[in-house]
Amino acid sequence: EAGVAQSPRYKIIEKRQSVAFWCNPISGHATLYWYQQILGQGPKLLIQFQNNGVVDDSQLPKDRFSAERLKGVDSTLKIQPAKLEDSAVYLCASPFAGINTGELFFGEGSRLTVL
């Protein structure tokens, strides 16, 4: 329905290991968001892209998190090295294609467990 594809759906790693998540947003839309949703909390914005440029990454822990959207389409979020507190669901979201009203379509999310 939403058209935002994410993978993998689940990932279990040990602390200090690295992990990468992939997102392919709704076709044709320039804006893409990555959110972190820790259990029991609301989604927290990590980074916002407009095409392949970063609009806002003020809440991205840049010492361990990185994200890119090289061709302005799909995006990768990486964590290296992971910490226990990074256990969360990582959500990718895209506005409705062609209309940037703030209404977001979310992917299923990638659930990360750090042991």
Partner 1 sequence: AQSVSQHNHHVILSEAASLELGCNYSYGGTVNLFWYVQYPGQHLQLLLKYFSGDPLVKGIKGFEAEFIKSKFSFNLRKPSVQWSDTAEYFCAVRYNNNDMRFGAGTRLTVKP
> Could you say which residues in the range 48-87 bind partner 1, by CB under 8 A?
48, 50, 55-56
Q: What beta strand segments (E) does the chain contain?
A: 5-7, 10-13, 19-24, 31-37, 44-50, 53-56, 65-68, 75-79, 88-95, 104-106, 110-114
Query: Per rule CB under 8 A, is residue 107 in the interface with partner 1?
Result: yes
Residue 69 has φ and ψ, to the nearest 5°, of -150, 70
At closest approach, how far in Å is the CB of 3 from partner 1?
12
How many Cα atoms within 13 Å fall on the side-chain side of residue 43?
16
Query: Per rule CB under 8 A, is residue 42 in the interface with partner 1?
Result: yes
Query: Per rule CB under 8 A, is residue 103 in the interface with partner 1?
Result: yes
> Could you say which residues in the range 2-41 bind partner 1, by CB under 8 A?
2, 31, 33, 35, 40-41
Residues that bind partner 1 (CB under 8 A): 2, 31, 33, 35, 40-45, 48, 50, 55-56, 91, 93, 100-104, 106-109
